[in-house]
């Protein structure tokens, strides 16, 4: 992996972390509106890991773990390369008003949360930069 690719991957990973945090914060607010205040960060972590309310975020969490591994090793054993990972990010972060799952929940979060919108825009800019650098 070139230094330029590694730097871009690091930037992308940090942007995904900001998005992930914004989505978690947004979902926490939504959850608390329905179920009441979550008493502690530890209780929130347990909900994120095990409650169905937060299950839609797990594909992003898993993808970030794979991307982190790719950044550390330059490759992911039995996993995607950088180009495949970038394509997967684009696909995953495509909001949709239709259906269920990540795309639908992501669309809803983009409608509710300005921090989610800003994080999404930052990732899109990095993805466009990657595309234009490849041409």
Q: Which of 114, 129, 67 is CA-nearest to residue 92?
A: 67
What are the CA-CA distances from residue 52 to residues 40, 65, 115 (Å)? 19, 20, 23
Kindly indicate the confidence band of residue 6, based on its pLDDT and cuts at 50, 70 and 90: confident
Residues whose CB is less than 8 angstroms from the CB of residue 22 and which lie 6 or more positions away in sequence, other chains included: 113, 115, 116, 118, 119
pTM: 0.85
Residues whose CB is less than 8 angstroms from the CB of residue 25 and which lie 6 or more positions away in sequence, other chains included: 113, 115
Widest CA span of the chain, in angstroms? Answer: 51
Contact 92, 123 (CB under 8 A): no
Q: Which residue has the higher pLDDT, 133 or 9?
A: 9
Ranking 53-57, 69-73, 78-82, 113-117 by mean pLDDT, the lowest is 78-82
């Amino acid at each position: 992996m070139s230094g330029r690719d590694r730097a871009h991957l690091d930037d992308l990973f940090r942007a995904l972390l900001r998005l992930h945090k914004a989505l978690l914060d947004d979902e926490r607010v939504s959850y608390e509106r329905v179920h009441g205040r979550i008493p502690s960060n530890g209780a929130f972590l347990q909900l994120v890991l095990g409650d169905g309310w937060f299950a839609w975020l797990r594909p992003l969490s898993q993808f970030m773990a794979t991307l982190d591994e790719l950044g550390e090793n330059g490759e992911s054993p039995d996993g995607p390369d950088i180009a495949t990972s970038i394509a997967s990010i684009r696909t995953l972060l495509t909001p949709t008003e239709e259906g269920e799952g990540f795309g639908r929940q992501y669309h809803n979060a983009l409608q509710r949360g300005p921090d989610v919108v800003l994080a999404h825009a930052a990732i899109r800019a990095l993805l466009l930069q990657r595309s234009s650098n490849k041409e």
